[in-house]
């Protein structure tokens, strides 16, 4: 299947866009007319550049306000069309997108629209060009794909077919069911996802579309219908997004390709599951070449968290983690790297981190530079990641030291895939001189596991990380929530695997004044903001850590006074929460207790202690404003 992207989707000049598109290994482009109109190159020069880059101009778009018009306007549009056909021939472009009419002159007459499109298709046929008719979600009389399909059928011309766009369908809550019956008259497929928003559809469409896998539309179900129609490509992206058009285009082009590969693989999986009872699905799998990566890895948690530090911070951070109950567990055999352990948690302090980590350190100070993800198939996880556009990372290792399949996540954090069969001792014993008493990772504060990591992101990184987590790691997105920092809103999205062994919380703020946004900016756009440790007795853990000198974010008495108005909580529990400085949340499935340590030396990260009771599945986002307000007030004192 050929893969394409509309030039409007990326930032930069047309030349810049083409280079980014080719670098991401697309096969072709949809040429957005204003991009060509404003480019200082002729059609012949553009065609030559595309040829040199291995790209084909698959579609010229858009041709507006054509069908269903009064006769004089229709005749003027035919003159307009012939000029566009001249340009298409010079570009080597075989098809033009005609979007449904938005003009106030348009008449509500589908038969007239069909007759006029037949005339246009007849003229296109003389040049061996094709016309694709698409229903705009805000079309004056035609805004749904079935209406456009009805007109295409009425016109009954071999050079006229249907173009469908997932955004125009999903934004109107129209069903894609039936696209499968369009068959060979499905000329072109455009894909776009989007967050669910209560905006006017035009504003929504022109500013907030994103790539498949980044939003909340059922893009997989939509493309499955197209695949069942026998559609063989091009599979294309048409994205209008203000953030994307302000972001370096090569990074966005990688996201774009990753989104199509993920989309194809999801549809392929559905067809494979159906083929036993569905002969048509089996035939489609034989005919269509849909991307088939290694399967989604099964994770069993985080094996370790690695910090980039210098000598002074290695000592200071080491002191803090000792206060948190971690025990010095060993020193690396050949590098300035130390290991601390408690329960099932391993923290690595690395004074010889990667150049990217050292650059981040120079901006922010100590920061998370690598994560170890436990899985039953590390090589399969690596192969899936690289197939889905992730860069492989080969860590420098000494003789006999452990080699882990690894990648670079967006923004530079290294992810190591750790074979769960090794066990924690098997992982570290090759590389570290382990302390005998630390062999089982025992520790004194009752911290048992890494519950989740919160990743702070700049606005241009959020969609990238949502897609990366979904496509590469196989994590599902929970509901996006917003909460108030004293200096702006924070948007938070939880990502987790089905078993809840791996949880990431992605946080972003459009306000540059929030503490989270400043930390994300200082870390180059992506930084672990805080680490949440799970335990089975939070009150005991907090008490022990306070006595060890750990400082927790103080919570206002007003919070505890208000708590009984929000939940039915026993007075004794409220008093216990107040005395310990512990926050509380409740869902229908269970309760959540948590407390935050003060930030580490202005480096933009802190720790959280959590206890989940029952089936609570959130992250206590309702309490984030209490923590952020307290932190802001502390800084003012």
Tell me the pairing of strands 160-165 and 130-134. parallel
Q: Which residue has the higher pLDDT, 633 or 113?
A: 113
Q: Please, how many CA atoms are within 13 Å of residue 453, restricted to the half-sphere of its CB?
A: 25
Rg of the chain in Å (alpha carbons): 28
| Residue tagged 């003159």 (tokens) | 79
How many Å apart are CA 418 and CA 36, to the nearest integer? 49
Distance (Å) of CA 165 to CA 227, 371, 473: 14, 38, 27
294-444 CATH pick, 3.10.20.600, 3.30.565.10, 3.10.180.10, 3.30.70.2390: 3.10.180.10
Tokens of 25: 């290994």
For helices 219-228 and 249-274, what crossing angle results, to 10°?
60
For 227, other C-beta atoms within 10 Å of its C-beta total 26
Domain boundaries defined on the chain = 3-287, 294-444, 447-637
Distance of CA 45 to the CA centre of its chain: 35
Query: Considering only 277-281, 461-465, 467-471, which range has the smallest mean pLDDT?
Result: 277-281
- For the chain, the helix, strand and coil percentages under 3-state DSSP, each to the nearest 5: 40, 25, 35
Q: What is the reported pLDDT for 310?
A: 86
How many Å apart are CA 382 and CA 471, to the nearest integer? 13
**277: confidence class by pLDDT, cuts 50, 70, 90:** confident
How many Å apart are CA 217 and CA 236, to the nearest integer? 16
How many Å apart are CA 609 and CA 412, to the nearest integer? 27
What secondary structure letter does DSSP report for 459? H
Q: What is the reported pLDDT for 407?
A: 97
Helix spans in 304-450 (H): 311-323, 355-364, 378-387, 423-428
How many Å apart are CA 116 and CA 136, to the nearest integer? 18
Mind listing the pLDDT tens digit for each residue in 525-583? 999 999 999 999 999 999 999 999 999 999 999 999 999 999 999 999 999 999 999 99
Q: Are 428 and 333 in contact (CB under 8 A)?
A: no
How many Å apart are CA 222 and CA 190, to the nearest integer? 10
Tokens of 475: 């994590």
Mind listing the pLDDT tens digit for each residue in 231-262? 988 999 999 999 999 999 999 999 999 999 99
Q: What is the reported pLDDT for 441?
A: 44
Asked whether the whole model's pTM tops 0.85, one would answer yes
**354: confidence class by pLDDT, cuts 50, 70, 90:** low
Burial class (CB in 10 A: 0-12, 13-18, 19+), 234: buried
The sign of the torsion formed by the CA atoms of 86, 88, 89, 95 equals negative
Tokens of 365: 């100070």
How many Å apart are CA 511 and CA 575, to the nearest integer? 36
Share of the chain above pLDDT 70, in %: 96
How many Å apart are CA 555 and CA 631, to the nearest integer? 9
Q: Do you find a cis peptide bond into 411, omega within 30 degrees of 0?
A: no
Tell me the pairing of strands 367-375 and 414-419. parallel
Q: Are 622 and 546 in contact (CB under 8 A)?
A: no
Tokens of 543: 């008490």
End-to-end, the C-alpha distance of the chain in Å comes to: 61
Distance of CA 214 to the CA centre of its chain: 5
Q: Are 520 and 294 in contact (CB under 8 A)?
A: no
Residue 517 has pLDDT above 60, yes or no: yes
What secondary structure letter does DSSP report for 338? E
How many Å apart are CA 342 and CA 325, to the nearest integer? 7
Q: In 584-615, which positions are buried (b, 16+ CB within 10 angstroms) versus exposed (e)?
A: bbbeeeebbbbbbbebbeebbbbbbbbbbeee
Q: In which element (H, E) is residue 223 found? A: helix 219-228
Beta bridge partners of 408: 391, 414
How many Å apart are CA 310 and CA 87, to the nearest integer? 60
Q: What is the reported pLDDT for 82?
A: 98
**360: confidence class by pLDDT, cuts 50, 70, 90:** low
Mind listing the pLDDT tens digit for each residue in 122-148? 999 999 999 999 999 999 999 999 999
DSSP string of 160-179? EEEEEEHHHHHTTT---TTG
Per DSSP, the three-state class of 597 is strand
The backbone torsions φ and ψ at residue 105, rounded to the nearest 5 degrees and listed phi first, read -80, -15
For 127, other C-beta atoms within 10 Å of its C-beta total 14
How many Å apart are CA 420 and CA 599, to the nearest integer? 32
| Residue tagged 């929970």 (tokens) | 478
Q: Are 425 and 412 in contact (CB under 8 A)?
A: no
Nearest-5° angle of CA 340, CA 549, CA 631?
100
Residue 69 has pLDDT above 50, yes or no: yes
How many Å apart are CA 623 and CA 560, to the nearest integer? 11
Provide the CATH topology of domain 3-287. TIM Barrel (3.20.20)
Our CA dihedral for 332, 337, 341, 347, rounded to 10 degrees, sits at: -140
How many Å apart are CA 235 and CA 211, to the nearest integer? 13
Q: Do the domains at 3-287 and 447-637 have one common CATH topology?
A: no
Q: Are 420 and 384 in contact (CB under 8 A)?
A: no
For helices 249-274 and 279-287, what crossing angle results, to 10°?
140
Tell me the pairing of strands 367-375 and 345-350. unpaired
Q: What is the mean pLDDT of residues 338-361?
A: 82
How many Å apart are CA 151 and CA 67, to the nearest integer? 10
Q: What is the reported pLDDT for 603?
A: 56
What secondary structure letter does DSSP report for 124? H
Query: Considering only 99-103, 190-194, 311-315, 429-433, which range has the smallest mean pLDDT?
Result: 311-315
**182: confidence class by pLDDT, cuts 50, 70, 90:** very high
- Mean of the per-residue pLDDT values for the chain? 93
For 125, other C-beta atoms within 10 Å of its C-beta total 15
Provide the CATH topology of domain 447-637. 2,3-Dihydroxybiphenyl 1,2-Dioxygenase; domain 1 (3.10.180)
How many Å apart are CA 305 and CA 162, to the nearest integer? 51
Phi-psi region of 573 (alpha: psi -120 to 50; beta: other; left: phi over 0): alpha
Q: What is the mean pLDDT of residues 162-183?
A: 98
Residue 514 has pLDDT above 50, yes or no: yes
Q: What is the reported pLDDT for 602?
A: 63
């Amino acid at each position: 299947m050929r893969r394409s992207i509309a030039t409007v989707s990326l930032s930069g000049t047309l030349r810049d866009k083409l280079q980014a598109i080719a670098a991401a290994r697309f096969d072709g482009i949809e040429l957005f007319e204003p991009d060509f109109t404003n480019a200082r190159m002729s059609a012949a020069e553009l065609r030559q550049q595309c040829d040199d880059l291995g790209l084909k101009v698959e579609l010229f778009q858009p041709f507006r306000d054509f069908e269903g018009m009064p006769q004089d306007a229709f005749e003027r549009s035919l003159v307009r069309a012939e000029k566009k056909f001249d340009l298409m021939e010079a570009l080597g472009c075989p098809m033009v997108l005609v979007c449904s009419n938005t003009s106030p002159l348009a008449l509500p007459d589908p038969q007239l629209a069909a007759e006029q499109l037949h005339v246009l298709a007849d003229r296109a046929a003389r040049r061996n060009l094709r016309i694709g008719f698409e229903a705009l979600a805000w079309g004056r009389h035609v805004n749904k794909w079935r209406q456009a399909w009805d007109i295409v059928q009425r016109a009954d011309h071999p050079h006229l077919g249907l173009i469908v766009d997932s955004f125009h369908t999903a934004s109107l809550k129209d069903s894609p069911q039936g696209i499968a019956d369009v068959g060979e008259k499905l000329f072109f497929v455009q894909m776009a996802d989007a967050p669910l928003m209560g905006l006017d559809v035009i504003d929504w469409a022109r500013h907030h579309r994103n790539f498949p896998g980044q939003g909340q539309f059922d893009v997989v179900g939509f493309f499955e219908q197209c695949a069942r129609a026998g559609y063989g490509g091009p599979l294309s992206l048409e994205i209008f997004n203000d953030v994307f058009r302000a972001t370096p285009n090569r990074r966005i082009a990688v996201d774009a390709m990753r989104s199509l590969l993920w989309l194809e693989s999801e549809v392929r999986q559905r067809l494979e599951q159906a083929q036993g009872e569905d002969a048509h699905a089996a035939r489609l799998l034989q005919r269509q070449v849909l991307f088939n990566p290694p399967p989604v890895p099964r994770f069993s948690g985080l094996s370790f968290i690695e910090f980039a530090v210098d000598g002074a911070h290695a000592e200071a951070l080491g002191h803090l983690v000792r206060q948190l109950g971690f025990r010095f567990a060993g020193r690396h055999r050949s590098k300035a790297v130390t290991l601390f352990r408690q329960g099932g948690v391993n923290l690595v302090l690395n004074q010889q981190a990667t150049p990217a980590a050292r650059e981040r350190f120079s901006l922010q100070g100590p920061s998370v530079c690598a994560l170890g993800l436990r899985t039953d198939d590390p090589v399969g996880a690596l192969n899936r990641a690289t197939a889905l556009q992730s860069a492989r990372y080969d860590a420098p290792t000494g003789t006999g030291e452990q080699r882990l399949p690894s990648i670079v996540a967006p923004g530079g954090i290294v992810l190591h895939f750790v074979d769960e069969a090794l066990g924690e001792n098997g992982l570290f014993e090759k590389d570290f001189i382990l302390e005998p008493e630390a062999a089982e990772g025992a520790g004194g504060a009752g911290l048992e596991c890494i519950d989740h990591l919160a990743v702070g992101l700049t606005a241009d990184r959020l969609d990238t990380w949502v897609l990366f987590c979904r496509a590469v790691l196989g994590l599902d997105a929970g509901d996006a929530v917003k909460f108030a920092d004293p200096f702006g809103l924070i948007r938070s999205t939880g990502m987790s695997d089905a078993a809840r062994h791996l949880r990431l919380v992605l946080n972003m703020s459009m306000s540059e004044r929030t503490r989270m946004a400043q930390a994300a900016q200082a870390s180059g756009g992506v930084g672990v903001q805080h680490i949440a440790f799970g335990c089975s007795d939070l009150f005991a853990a907090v008490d022990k850590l306070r006595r060890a000198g750990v400082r927790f974010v103080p919570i206002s008495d007003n919070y505890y006074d208000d708590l009984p108005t929000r939940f039915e909580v026993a007075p004794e529990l409220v008093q216990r929460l107040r005395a310990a400085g512990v926050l509380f949340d409740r869902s229908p499935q269970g309760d959540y207790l948590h407390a935050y340590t003060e930030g580490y030396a202005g480096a933009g990260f802190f720790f959280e202690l959590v206890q989940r009771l029952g089936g609570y599945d959130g992250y206590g986002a309702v309490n984030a404003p209490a923590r952020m307000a307290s932190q802001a007030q502390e800084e003012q004192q």
